[in-house]
Structure formats: C-alpha cells, structure tokens
Structure 1
Amino acid sequence: MLAMKPYASTADAAVFDYVIVGAGSAGCLLANRLSRDPGKRVLLIEAGRRDNYPWIHIPVGYLYCIGNPRTDWLYKTEPEAGLNGRSLRYPRGKTLGGCSSINGMIYMRGQSRDYESWAAQTNDREWSWENSLGDFKAHEDHYRLDDGADPATGDNSRFSDMHGRGGEWRIEKQRLKWDILESFAEAAVEAGIPRSTDFNSGDNEGVGYFEVNQKAGWRLNTSKAFLRPVRHRRNLVVWTEAEVETLAIETSADGAKRCTGVSLYHGSAKVTVRATAEVILSAGAIGSPQILQLSGIGPAGLSQAMGIPVEKELPGVGENLQDHLQIRAVFKVKNAKTLNTLASNLVGKARIGLEYVLKRSGPMSMSPSQLGAFTRSDPDRAHANLEYHVQPLSLDAFGEPLHSFPAFTASVCNLNPTSRGHVRIRSRHRGDPPAIAPNYLSTDEDRRIAADSIRQIRSIVSQPALSRYQPVEWKPGIEFQSDGELAKLAGDIANTIFHPVGTARMGATDDAMAVVDSRLRVRGIEGLRVVDASVMPTITSGNTSAPTMMIAEKAARWIIADAQNRA
C-alpha cells in the first residue's frame, strides 16, 4: 500500500508548460487536473521527501509526523504578546501530500457565508457558495452515497445535492465510539446546541461526529488520492527534495513582467526550470509568501532591507495572516474509559495495536478530534462562531505524553478571529525560516470571545448528561472567573489548530492589499498564480483542508480555459 513507483528525475528536459511549486493539498490536485491533457507537460515540485514514511498513513501517526523533520518544516512563531510571550510550534507538512499527510483528516467546508463574503470581497460570484459547491463535489467520494442513498433517511436527494460520489477524495465516518463523547454530545444538546447530521451543508451549527479523509482505516492524503492513480502519465513529472530558491522574472521591452520559471536546488544541484504557460505557487500560507518575497515580489521596503531587487511592489504579500487558536480545557473524570487509561501500560498499548492490525479500528484509527460542535459564543450572534474539538484524552500538547489520570479535552476556537498577523522573510537565503507572527488575541473582540468560550465549556460540562463522570476542571482552573483572568489564561494555554491562511489574499481591482485577482493571478506579473490557502481573504468557519482543495479545483478549470483561449 505504501509503495510508490519512482518519478522522473532532473534528467528530463527542464522545460514544461506548467510548473507547480508545492505538492500539498492544492498542488497534488492541480497536477492531476492539468496533466489530463497529454499535450501539456507538467512539473510538480516538492521540497520534502516521498510519502513512504509509514506513520503518514496510520491515522494516529500525526503524533510522530508533527515535530519530525522527516515530515514537518519545524516552524515556530515569534513570541506572541497575546499568548503572554509564548512562541508556538507551527507545523507545516514537508512531504508529498503536504499538510494532508500530517493533519487531523477532518473534512470540513465551513459555512456558506464564508464564500458569500469572498464573492463580495472579490466582486466575483464564482466564489459564492452556490458556485463553489460543484468544485467541492468534483473530487468527493462520500461514504453515505456508496449505495446511492443516505442510510440515515433512505433518501439521497438532499444529501446528493450537497455531496459527491466517485471522486478521488474519500470521506468516511470514524471507526470508533466512546461513551464519554456520547455523553458530551448529550450535554451539548442539554446546553442548547442542536444535533447535526452533516457539518458540510452550508450551516455547520450543531454537535456530531467529524467525518474524516480516510480509506478503510488508513489516512488518505492528496498524494495517494491524486498522484498515485495517474503516475503512469508520461507528461507528469514529480520532483521531491527539490527546494525553490526564487522565481524567474523577465521584463519585456514595454516594461511588462512575466514569470518564466523557477530556480531551485534538487539535492545539491542548482536547476533552472522554464514554464511556457504558467508557474503556480501552491507552497501554502507560509511557503508561498516566502517565495514571493525572496523573488522581490512584496513590500518594497522588505525587499530593499534584504538586498533583493524589487520586481513588483505588492504590500499585501505576507500580511493578513489568520489562524484558528484553540483553547484546550481539560477535565478529570471518574468511572470513564479514556485513552489515558487504555494506553497507560504495555498491555493496553498492545491491545490497541492488535485491534488496528486486525480491524483497522480503535484508537490507532483516530483523528486528533472525534466529536465536534459548532455554536455561538453569545445568542445575539447571527451564526455559529465557535468550533469545538472534543477528545477522550488529555495531554499538555500533541507530541507530549498522555496524562496519567482519566480525562477528556474540550478544545474551542474562535472561527472568525479579527486578529491579523504576518509572514516576513528574515534574509535573502531560502534556508532561513521566515518570521511568523499571527498576533493572536490582539483585539478586544478576540479576547472577549476567548473568555466567553471558556464559560461556555463550563456550562456544557455542568449539564446532567456528564454528571455520572464527576468532571473536575483541571485546566484552566475553576478559580479563574473574570474576563481579564480568562483572557490571560487563554493566552497561557491556547495553541494553534494549524489553519494559517490569507497571506497572499485575493481581492477586487481597487483593493490595494490584494496580492492576486479573483482568478488567482498575481497582480502585475504575467504567467504566475497562487493557488493555496494563502489566497483566502478571510478564514473559513472550520478546518481549512477541504476549502483549499476546492480552490485548486476551481483554479484548474480557469488555467485550462486560459490555455485554450491562448491557443
């Protein structure tokens, strides 16, 4: 299952129609779509290695991939004032499949209002929910449509309107159940949160189990979904361990600028690759602005400070960074089975391993979060603005040991933060990681919502459905009650949920801070697009992997159409 045929090497001619930088959630899908035409030669460049590391494919393996140089860029944020001076580990995938190889596998589109907002900000209805739904469905293969009908109702008419069948991207239900999570869901209903049977219909308010990108108990990453099925295509070339240094920009006699290729290191060899049609940056919300800035495309003052010639001044490159910050509340419990107790000794761990080997189920098939809830931080809000990730376990941070006592964790994040940060290069050298400053909790609104969300967690846990477990708040601590205390505590215990977006955002023609237009073309540079989460003008109300793939599906159609128009 994990074997992969080797791809072509740099011995191939270094001239292609399309050069895609980054083989992550967007890049793998783009490579699949653009190489459908055998007359178009496509190069996909990935800085990391192939995805043949076993822990990538076992769902619980994210514990061994995050913080591992084999699969993670190992970024860290700048010290954050809103986090009381803390610096956070900032995982980003560095392997075929990118972040889809190390993420939480949760399939989540967000809310219809997210896309209506994008359409308004770009003056382009192509980004509306109605016009984006088909791009979600184009690659979707939802388990609830396997037999042509939704098993919950016996009818597929409404569900098939929202979801797809037969695409490359498999969506399955989780292969486990925990009594403590069932009780939390009941408590959420008692607290006024409705049940949800589908988080992806445009309104995700409610409580239910997350659906995951897995196939028969294995992680499905975008490399397996979109590259493996087409590895026989002779016009698709994939280079791994190939790190882009700069974009190649040429200026014509009339002053017009065009991106004609990339300069990169493949191993120790420096290679220049030409693109006759387009270069497409899909290196993510950190990597894409970094490459742009290293190429002299971005804030002019930053380029000049680094001794980089200014090719195009675009002040929005690297700005507008948004992320979901989760506050992890931990509750000790009694009379409950949790992963803390199940995995507390070698016998328990052996049983967990055996269940996965025999059935592909149990804790080793777990995504980081199993139960989800979307609700409002206060009843006056028009839409759900909080997302819960509830887990039958507790630890100080992912990658750290489980606690020795039985407990569950209820993490909550503000879906629509108003804080904005930035990504900026520190030098002109590709090997130096950029400065990443999300500026978490830097606005009064974000701090108020943080305090309100902790109070809401306490309200849910106090409901009768959880009383038999006698939950006791271990973190942050019930002694803290005021807005100021809770906002400070949020800064002490909150962590990223790994959803950076917005650093090369799209916008209308009169938006001076927009980096790309509504069709994702970089302003003032012909032949160059950005297609990844960095183009989102505002963060989606949920996990960001599925929206990134939708963006790539849409972009592929536009790229192909533009090529046909040029022919």
Structure 2
Amino acid sequence: MPSATDTYDYIIVGAGPAGSLLANRLSASPAVRVLLLEAGGEDNYPWIHIPVGYLYCIGNPRTDWCFQTEAQPGLHGRRLSYPRGKVLGGCSSINGMIYMRGQARDYDLWAAQGNPGWGWDQVLPLFRKSENHFGGNSPAHGGDGEWRVERQRYHWPILDAFRDAAEQCGIAKVDDFNTGDNQGCGYFQVNQRNGVRWNSAKAFLRPILKRPNLTVLTKVTVDRLRFEQGRVVGLEADWLGAKRVFNARREVVLCAGAIGSPTIMQRSGLGPRSLLERLGIAVRRDMPEVGGNLQDHLQLRLIYQVTRVRTLNQVAGSVWGKMGMGLRYLYDRSGPLAMAPSQLGAFVKSDASQPSANLQYHVQPLSLERFGEPLHSFPAFTASVCNLRPLSRGSVRIQAAAPEQAPSIDPNYLSHPQDLHVAAQAIRLTRQIVQAPALARFAPVEYLPGAQLQTDEQLQEAAGAIGTTIFHPVGTCRMGSDPSAVVDAQLRVHGVAGLRIADASIMPQITSGNTCTPTLMIAEKAAQMILHAHNWQAPNAVGQPREVETAVG
C-alpha cells in the first residue's frame, strides 16, 4: 500500500480507455514508476462482460456516474441521463463496443488547424499498434495489439432487410468502416473476444498488473492538482476515506474524460476566471475554454413497428425466450445476449453538398421508450441517426469547489440552426430508406416521431422531442495552437508545466463516428510523446523493456 509520501514518475488520473493504455505503455520500461488512479471500482460486475448487459450497467450507480444534463431548450426542456463509466475500463465497460476510427478527414482537419502530427497518415499507425483485428495484419489493420476486434456473432433478418433497403436508396454495402472513408452500410465490428465484452482493463491492465513499477488504485477521488513554483508536482485526493497526497516527479496526465478532466482542472484553479471566483477558488490561470467546446452526437431514435418478423422485443418478452437466450449464450457465446446494442450501421451524406458522410445510423432490432425502460410489447426496430459534425457547442462547469458535487453538463443540443436543418434532413432520409422495397414485406409503420409530421418546422420540433445523447462527449480541453486552446499538439497544458491531458476532451472537433477507439489512439500518441520528451526508451524489438539513463524534464 502506497504511503502519503510516495513519489512516482507519472501519475495518470482515470483508468478508462486512455488511462489503461497509457499506464501500459509508460510502465513498459522498468525505469519508469507509474501510478494509475481510478475513481470507480473494479470491473467485476457480471453484466459488464455479457454484451447485452449494457442495459443493466447504464443508469446503475455501481457502474455509471449517473450524471444528468441541464434542461435543454433544444430538447423541449428535457434533462438527459449522461452515462459515464464508473469502473476500471471506464466507458469501455458500459459502451456499445463498436470499433470505429472515424474518417481520415477528421484528423487531417485537426492537423490543418495547427496540430502537427495529428493527420490521418500519422495516426493510422497508432490505431494499428493497439489493434488485434480478426483479419490479422494488413495495410488498414493491426493484428498484434491488445484491443480485440471481431465480427458480430448474431444477425437478424430485419437488419439484413434494412441494409438491402439502404442499398436500394443508393447507400452501398461495405464490409469495413475503418479505412478512412466510412461511407456506406454494413455491420459494425466490435470489441469482443468470443462473445464477451473486451474492455480496456482486460486489454491493457490485466496483463501487466504484476509489474513492480505500476500501482493501480481504485475508488480514489481526485480533488485538485498540487503546484510548486507554477509547476504541477502531484495531486490531492480522497482514498479509503482519508485525504492523501500523491507526488509526481515528471508529469501528471489527466485521462478522466471530457467530463472529469475539465472539472479537475477547474477545481485546481485552471479555468474561466468568472466561474472560479464565484466559487471561491484561487485563479492560477484564467483559461476560459476549460470545460467549453463540449460536443456530442445527438441521436434521433426513429421507431418502426413491423409484422411477420421477430425482433428482440418478442424474443426477450417471454420467459421461454429469455431461457433460450441464456442457454444459447452458455452454449457458444452467441445469440441475443452476445449482441452489441447496435449491430448494423450506415454512414451517409445528408445532402450532396457535404464533403463526406455526415450522418451515422445505429440500427437495432428492438425498441423501447428510453434506456432503462422495458422493451415494447410489439415487434419493432429502431433506426437511430445522428449528425456527425454538430455545430452546437456546450460546456461542463463545476458547481462547487468540492469534488462530491456533480458538475453542470450543458451540451446545448440543437442550438445551432444548421443542426436543426440536418435533423430534418436525417428524418426524411430515414423515411426514404424504410419505404424502400426491401422492407415492404414487413409493413413498417412509423411509431416515432409519427408519419403525420411533414414540414421542416414539424420535423425540427420532432427532433427536439425524440433526440437523446449517444454518449460521445468530447472537446472540453481543446487541442490547438491558438491562445484559447487548452493543450498544444504535444498535449501539454498551455502555460502549466508538468501537466498533460490525454483523452477525448482534447479533440478540437468530434470524430465522425463512435469515440472510444479515437480516444485510445490519443493515449497511444501521448505515450510516445511522453517517452520521447523524457528520454525513456520504449521496449526493444522482442518486447523486452530496456532501462536507460533518464534526463531531467
């Protein structure tokens, strides 16, 4: 057990996807002493590992921080649940398991905005480094990494029909969304191993827990950073009910995510002056964008009742159906219990003027009013569609100086007129697909938002009624070279020595797809930059770490 005076080379805050990978890479050299802190607990809840168990993890205080947004004017004043992982593995323990990089254009845009080294050609090797793809090594994929990627193990006729209908509407069938251009329709590849969720704790932490230079602590609530002569030298935290101080010789790296990292910064006096002064926090550096620039993908969940086809609503709606699902999963780890929440995906342009696909579909063989509620009693599927590049921007702000108080989360959904325009286009496109001949035999009827809604004004109003988060918050500690940016291209916090941020909060713009795998890439790049900056040497060609003389940095 570490003492209050223990000192480490690096302290990593947050054991989600980014923190897990970063701890793995930094501790590969025995000369480096690493402390990884996680505010949640162990990932030993059985429903974490059964893929369909996300239904029992989201909204469960054992595995989810159970945040809520502020009331959203764009969503008719509704507050949304805002799930964030509360266990080892972070959100990779409760998410949809979709392996998605986004588009090459996303990263080239980051680089063009003053972030050298972040273009697609530079980040593709980082994606491949951590990847353990079912197809092995190829120019597009890696086969030797820890992050397992597999095909899904169960298909539904209603989803095959939707894919055929999309093709009839000009959306080509594709097999791989991760080559740089994800336009088309196909089945998502997932982070599973033999029908079991593969989270970042299994991938990056379990194999290295016996490293003597790595310490992993759970249920540690970080209060604030510690400074000496303007440099971050550690942090103050609550662990096992006691106040503790942990010291860092080299750097503290925040990997607490788009909600956690900016709130730690703000409690430490790094944030908007007006906020800090109002809460009685001494301002160490006025940084207005810490907690700003919040971006998220808002999904519009269109639900269609169908006939003459089974969906999960019916399979899971009876005792016998549930027994059959359980037996099949026990037998070969397949069937509905092995399902990712969304199996079929599509990427498409909302109109021809878009430079690349700006809409993403998550198509599900099920329907329910909202997450956490029972499935509908009638057969139905959900075609969830989101605007990949929203222009609305929100914020994350602490509400008190103490970490126990949940932050104010205000995504500000649909506040930009262009987002409303795209929402109406997305509903119309979905209707076009559903009306294609391939789905006609199932006689789909629009349950939500309702076929009677036709005008732009009605569809925009409907978007506010059915829109909900798809759990992709990013951008609250934006990377850039301009004076307002929070971190530079090396992920160092501007004007604050000894502190980096390596998680989804650094994204200047949200990626065009699910955000877990891009977050891993960010951590992979951070590890390389940190090792290079401090003259640590990475493992050699046969995987054995080599110790070198360290340099002061």
Shorter-chain TM range is over 0.9
Contact 2:115–2:488, Cα closer than 8 Å, also in 1: no
For 1:27-426, list aligned pairs within 5 A. Answer: 27-124=19-116, 126-145=117-136, 160-251=138-229, 257-426=230-399
Q: Secondary structure at the match of 2:132?
A: strand
Code of the aligned partner of 1:42: V
Question: What CA distance in whole angstroms lies between the structure 1 residues aligned with 2:269 and 2:125?
Answer: 36
Code of the aligned partner of 1:373: A
Code of the aligned partner of 1:516: V
Question: What CA distance in whole angstroms lies between the structure 2 residues aligned with 1:520 and 1:211?
Answer: 29
Question: What CA distance in whole angstroms lies between the structure 2 residues aligned with 1:393 and 1:102?
Answer: 19
Q: Secondary structure at the match of 2:368?
A: coil
Contact 1:20–1:279, Cα closer than 8 Å, also in 2: yes
Q: Secondary structure at the match of 1:161?
A: coil
Following superposition, the deviation at residue 197 of structure 1 comes to: 1.4
Q: Secondary structure at the match of 1:525?
A: coil
Question: What CA distance in whole angstroms lies between the structure 2 residues aligned with 1:11 and 1:228?
Answer: 24
Contact 1:279–1:528, Cα closer than 8 Å, also in 2: yes
- 1:534 equivalent in alignment to 2:505: yes
Contact 1:329–1:411, Cα closer than 8 Å, also in 2: yes
Following superposition, the deviation at residue 12 of structure 1 comes to: 8.1
Contact 1:422–1:436, Cα closer than 8 Å, also in 2: yes
For 1:503-522, list aligned pairs within 5 A. Answer: 503-508=476-481, 511-522=482-493
Following superposition, the deviation at residue 13 of structure 1 comes to: 5.6
Question: What CA distance in whole angstroms lies between the structure 2 residues aligned with 1:258 and 1:224?
Answer: 34
Following superposition, the deviation at residue 10 of structure 1 comes to: 3.3
Q: Secondary structure at the match of 1:99?
A: helix
Contact 1:249–1:311, Cα closer than 8 Å, also in 2: no
Unaligned runs of 5+ in 1: 1-8, 149-159, 252-256
Question: Partner residue of 1:554?
Answer: 525
Following superposition, the deviation at residue 513 of structure 1 comes to: 1.9
Q: Secondary structure at the match of 1:320?
A: coil
Question: What CA distance in whole angstroms lies between the structure 1 residues aligned with 2:192 and 2:308?
Answer: 31
Question: What CA distance in whole angstroms lies between the structure 1 residues aligned with 2:37 and 2:143?
Answer: 30
Following superposition, the deviation at residue 381 of structure 1 comes to: 1.7
Q: Secondary structure at the match of 1:96?
A: coil
Question: What CA distance in whole angstroms lies between the structure 2 residues aligned with 1:123 and 1:208?
Answer: 32
Question: What CA distance in whole angstroms lies between the structure 2 residues aligned with 1:139 and 1:394?
Answer: 34
* Deviation per residue, 1:172-230 (Å, 9 max, x gap): 00000110000000000001101111100000000000000000110000001000111
Code of the aligned partner of 1:556: A
* Deviation per residue, 1:355-374 (Å, 9 max, x gap): 11111001111111000000
Following superposition, the deviation at residue 300 of structure 1 comes to: 1.1
Question: What CA distance in whole angstroms lies between the structure 1 residues aligned with 2:50 and 2:285?
Answer: 44
Q: Secondary structure at the match of 1:138?
A: helix
Code of the aligned partner of 1:19: I
Question: What CA distance in whole angstroms lies between the structure 1 residues aligned with 2:6 and 2:509?
Answer: 37
Following superposition, the deviation at residue 11 of structure 1 comes to: 4.4
Code of the aligned partner of 2:494: R
Contact 2:5–2:245, Cα closer than 8 Å, also in 1: no
Code of the aligned partner of 1:452: Q
Question: What CA distance in whole angstroms lies between the structure 2 residues aligned with 1:365 and 1:513?
Answer: 45
Code of the aligned partner of 2:91: C
C-alpha distance 553-490 of structure 1, shift in aligned 2 (>3 A): same
* Deviation per residue, 1:111-163 (Å, 9 max, x gap): 00000010011241x10000000000011010012xx6xxxxxxxxxxx1110
Question: What CA distance in whole angstroms lies between the structure 2 residues aligned with 1:277 and 1:231?
Answer: 22
* Deviation per residue, 1:373-408 (Å, 9 max, x gap): 000111222210000000110001121100000000
Question: What CA distance in whole angstroms lies between the structure 2 residues aligned with 1:426 and 1:122?
Answer: 33
Contact 2:345–2:362, Cα closer than 8 Å, also in 1: yes
Contact 2:477–2:505, Cα closer than 8 Å, also in 1: yes
Question: What CA distance in whole angstroms lies between the structure 2 residues aligned with 1:482 and 1:107?
Answer: 36
More divergent stretch after superposition (556-565 vs 232-241): 556-565
Matched residue pairs, number? 538
Contact 2:4–2:245, Cα closer than 8 Å, also in 1: no
Following superposition, the deviation at residue 533 of structure 1 comes to: 0.1
- 1:437 equivalent in alignment to 2:410: yes
Question: What CA distance in whole angstroms lies between the structure 2 residues aligned with 1:564 and 1:543?
Answer: 34
Question: What CA distance in whole angstroms lies between the structure 1 residues aligned with 2:384 and 2:146?
Answer: 31
Question: What CA distance in whole angstroms lies between the structure 2 residues aligned with 1:495 and 1:223?
Answer: 28
- 1:26 equivalent in alignment to 2:18: yes
Question: What CA distance in whole angstroms lies between the structure 2 residues aligned with 1:211 and 1:58?
Answer: 16
Following superposition, the deviation at residue 250 of structure 1 comes to: 1.6
Code of the aligned partner of 1:31: A
* Deviation per residue, 1:267-308 (Å, 9 max, x gap): 211110000000000000000000000000011111111100
Question: Partner residue of 2:473?
Answer: 500
Contact 1:423–1:436, Cα closer than 8 Å, also in 2: yes
Question: What CA distance in whole angstroms lies between the structure 1 residues aligned with 2:399 and 2:4?
Answer: 34
Question: What CA distance in whole angstroms lies between the structure 2 residues aligned with 1:260 and 1:180?
Answer: 56
Q: Cα RMSD between the aligned structures?
A: 0.9
Q: Secondary structure at the match of 2:139?
A: helix
* Deviation per residue, 1:419-459 (Å, 9 max, x gap): 00000111111100110000000011000000110000000
Following superposition, the deviation at residue 231 of structure 1 comes to: 1.1
